[in-house]
Structure 1
Amino acid sequence: MDLQPHTTPSGFKLPSIHSLPPFFSKQENLETLAISLDHWTRLILSYARFKRIFYLRVEDAEVTGGDWDEVLRNTRINRRVRPEYLSFILSQLVAKNLAVYDPIKQDRSVLLYWRTPDEWAEVLHSWATSTGQLNTILTFYEIIEPAVESQLSGIPVAILRKAIAVLAKTARAQSIGVADGEGVRFFATHAR
């Protein structure tokens, strides 16, 4: 058995633990389970960030060739995460505030926080500052689908709202209703 890190076809480097068959099953020993969950948490969030994937669904454990196939399966050892175990992993991500159920009132799909809302707020404000958008009203669409691709391209509206709320608490942004949806105005950072 080869317990070396493995680079996937997409270029992501899987940790050596991904080659251990028990890693793909929920462990009975609580200490072993905690270690395994820690590894799954880091693996899922780093892969999501690498591939810019925002959602993980229980169904992804059953989809061959999907966005998550490289992580949720290891064909070299003929193992995959079962949906029940992935559901448990998702619940742990939510419990640690590293994800939220989206849509709410269900437990089969999560919005991942591979950057926290606070981190997204800083990215958002830096983008607004560097592109000369301070004191300008922008629609959410203009941020999510900018003319020039940015770190914010494709960001889910739910994360964008949370990032704006973080900025609003420090008087660096203001939510504004606009004719075709939601908007925001950014302000310069105040000296503290």
Structure 2
Amino acid sequence: MANFQWPWQYEFPPFFTLQPNLETRKKQLAAWCDLVLAYHKHHKLFSLDLKEAQSSPLFNNSKINRKLSTDSICTILEELGNKGNIEWTDKTKTRCLVMWRTPEEWGDLIYRWASSNAMTNTVCTLYELAHGDNTKQEEFVGLEDWLLKRALRALEKQRKAELMSFGNGEGVKFF
């Protein structure tokens, strides 16, 4: 995997302190949101633990000896939540799911793959989709189960697929 390309702001010490000026803060939050999503996408991470976040390279630039405060991280995560990119997994908001693509966007990618590989009117397992030899080159390879199911449910709503349970697993039929 290629090295992650940090944005220029990451080397700028004031970036690690949320700014009081409303316009500057708005731009700064947008930059942080973009960075969080890009970082998670690059590393194929689907969750974030608030307790571990502050020591993560994402929020802690040891090169310039700057790190974001826990309150600032919470503000960024709240912004991402308002945009629909994160979802808290607990009431105390210590852990969240990160979605750099919506379930609908993932569903579209999966359906394009199914259509272009003549998989319509056939059944494949969820394991085959996320870990199969035929999907090695696809962006959705390695997609976590919870997000894969949401993507497939989005396709169900569009009547492009049907989730199925059988014996010891789950599968999907594409239409």
TM-score, normalised to structure 2, is 0.86
Query: Do 1:61 and 1:82's aligned partners in 2 also have CA atoms closer than 8 Å?
Result: no
Bigger RCO (CA 8 Å, 6+ sep) = 2
Give the RMSD, CA atoms, in angstroms: 2.1
Tell me what 1:162 maps to. 150
Tell me what 2:161 maps to. 173
The offset of 1:106, in angstroms, is 4.2
SS of the aligned residue for 2:64 comes to coil
Residues 139-182 of structure 1 show CA distances to partners (whole Å, capped at 9, x for unaligned) of 22221221341322211122112211221122110111222233
Percent of aligned positions that are identical: 32
2:86 paired with 1:99:
yes
Q: Which runs of 5+ in 2 are unaligned?
A: none
Quick one: which of 109, 112, 120 aligns to 2:98? 112
Tell me what 1:23 maps to. 15
Q: Using the alignment, how far apart are the partners of 2:101 and 2:12 within structure 1?
A: 28
Query: Do 1:167 and 1:173's aligned partners in 2 also have CA atoms closer than 8 Å?
Result: yes
Tell me what 1:125 maps to. 111
The offset of 1:110, in angstroms, is 2.1
Residues 70-89 of structure 1 show CA distances to partners (whole Å, capped at 9, x for unaligned) of x3222232101223321221
The offset of 1:95, in angstroms, is 1.2
2:80 paired with 1:72:
no
How many residue pairs get aligned? The number is: 173
SS of the aligned residue for 1:48 comes to helix
Tell me what 1:4 maps to. none
Q: Using the alignment, how far apart are the partners of 1:125 and 1:104 within structure 2?
A: 31
Residues 75-110 of structure 1 show CA distances to partners (whole Å, capped at 9, x for unaligned) of 232101223321221121111111212x34341222
Query: Do 1:56 and 1:112's aligned partners in 2 also have CA atoms closer than 8 Å?
Result: yes
2:13 paired with 1:12:
no
Q: 1:104–1:154: structure 2 CA closer, same or farther, 3 Å change rule?
A: farther
Q: Using the alignment, how far apart are the partners of 1:136 and 1:104 within structure 2?
A: 37
